[in-house]
Amino acid sequence: MVILGIDPALTVTGYGVIQTGAKVSLVEAGVIATSAKEKLAGRLNKIYRAISKLIIDTKPDVVVLEKLYAHYRHPTTAYLLGQARGVIVLACATQNVALVEYAATRVKKAIVGKGLASKHQVQRMVAATLQISRVPKYTDVTDALALAIAHNHIMRVRL
């Protein structure tokens, strides 16, 4: 099974593609970056086109997206994040690929064993699971890979 995890954001959207089977292996990972100097419509279009191309190129069986968490002190951030998530959901719908969502605490529990794990703990477990020697430069990439790995763990437990 090919799983695409996406950590959505307007500035840096992280993504990670894994292949599952006898073991979990890394297929591809990276970021989609936009500039705050660009107009919002152009930034959202860039994310939409990049995710659509990624889906076409990697042919995932499922896309895993982090659920929106909005802090009451930062409503504008939640609003912008919601728009980025919206174009990602649209890309999944237009490419006819299944989409699932998990809360960050659910992902951390599946990866590390506790829902309040630190970013560092998640990074180390992602690197260990994928048997890579270096932790990815961007935490957005690690978070995306964690989403994909967590979905694999959760699905195996349900079977």
Active site residue ranges: 7, 66, 140
Contact by Cβ (8 Å): 2, 59: yes
d(CA 125, CA 48): 29
d(CA 125, CA 158): 21
d(CA 149, CA 16): 9
